Structure 1
Amino acid sequence: MTSTLPLSPRLPSPLREARDERFGRHGVRLLLKRDDLIHPDLIGNKWRKLVPNIERAGGRALVTFGGAYSNHLRATAAAGRLLGFPTVGVVRGQELADRPLNRSLARCAADGMRLCFVDRATYRRKTEPETLAGILRTAGAEDAYVVPEGGSNTAAVRGCRALGAELRGAADVVAIACGTGGTLAGLAAGLGSGQRALGVPVLKGGFLGAEIQDLQERAFGGRRGEWSLDERFHFGGYARTGPELTAFAEDFEARHGLAVERLYVAKLLYALVTLAGEGAFARGTTVAAVITA
Structure 2
Amino acid sequence: MDFNSAIDLTKAILQPVEFPEPLPVKVFIKRLDLVHPYVSGNKWFKQKYNLMFAREEGYDTLLTFGGAYSNHVHATAAAGKEFGFNTIGMIRGEEHLPLNPTLQFATEQGMQLHYVNRSDYRKKHLPEFAEWIYSKFGKVYIVPEGGTNQLAIKGAAEIPALIETDFDYITSACGTAGTISGVICGLNGAKQALGFAVLRGAAFLNKNAEQNIFEFTGKTFSNWSINLDYHFGGYAKINRELILFIRQIEEINEIILDPVYTGKMLYGVYDLARKGFFCEGKTIVALHTGGQQGIAGMKAHMNEVLSTHI
* TM-score, structure 2 normalization: 0.87
Distance 1:136 1:247, change over 3 A: farther
- Does 2:73 correspond to 1:73? yes
User: Which residue number in structure 2 is paired with residue 204 of structure 1?
Assistant: 200
What runs of 5+ residues in structure 2 fail to find an aligned partner? 291-310
In terms of mean alpha carbon deviation, does 152-161 or 223-232 score higher?
A: 223-232
User: Residues of 1 paired with 2:44 and 2:126: CA distance?
Assistant: 27
What runs of 5+ residues in structure 1 fail to find an aligned partner? none
Structure 1 segment 1-293 matched on structure 2, within 5 A: 4-5=2-3, 7-11=5-9, 13-20=12-19, 22-24=21-23, 27-58=24-55, 59-93=59-93, 95=94, 97-137=95-135, 140-167=136-163, 170-191=166-187, 194-205=190-201, 206-224=203-221, 226-293=223-290
CA RMSD of aligned residues (A): 1.8
Amino acid at match of 1:190: G
**Helix, strand or coil at the partner of 1:162:** coil
Contact 1:70–1:104 under 8 Å retained in 2: yes
Amino acid at match of 2:185: A
Q: What displacement does 1:103 show?
A: 0.8
Contact 1:168–1:192 under 8 Å retained in 2: no
Q: What displacement does 1:173 show?
A: 0.5
Cα deviation digits, residues 101-156 of structure 1 (max 9, x gap): 1111111111111111111121111111002222444xx32310111111100011
Distance 1:174 1:49, change over 3 A: same
Cα deviation digits, residues 248-277 of structure 1 (max 9, x gap): 111111111111122111101111111011
User: Residues of 1 paired with 2:260 and 2:5: CA distance?
Assistant: 26
Amino acid at match of 2:66: G
User: Residues of 1 paired with 2:221 and 2:131: CA distance?
Assistant: 33
Question: How many aligned positions are there?
Answer: 285
Distance 1:11 1:183, change over 3 A: same
**Helix, strand or coil at the partner of 2:90:** strand
Contact 1:20–1:30 under 8 Å retained in 2: no
**Helix, strand or coil at the partner of 2:15:** strand
Amino acid at match of 1:256: N
User: Residues of 2 paired with 1:211 and 1:166: CA distance?
Assistant: 25
**Helix, strand or coil at the partner of 1:116:** strand
Distance 1:142 1:160, change over 3 A: same
Q: What displacement does 1:242 show?
A: 2.7
Distance 1:23 1:116, change over 3 A: farther
Cα deviation digits, residues 39-86 of structure 1 (max 9, x gap): 111101100011100111114201111111111111100011111210
User: Residues of 1 paired with 2:186 and 2:21: CA distance?
Assistant: 29
User: Residues of 1 paired with 2:221 and 2:36: CA distance?
Assistant: 28
**Helix, strand or coil at the partner of 2:6:** coil
User: Residues of 2 paired with 1:90 and 1:29: CA distance?
Assistant: 42
Contact 2:90–2:113 under 8 Å retained in 1: yes
User: Residues of 2 paired with 1:285 and 1:21: CA distance?
Assistant: 19
**Helix, strand or coil at the partner of 1:198:** strand
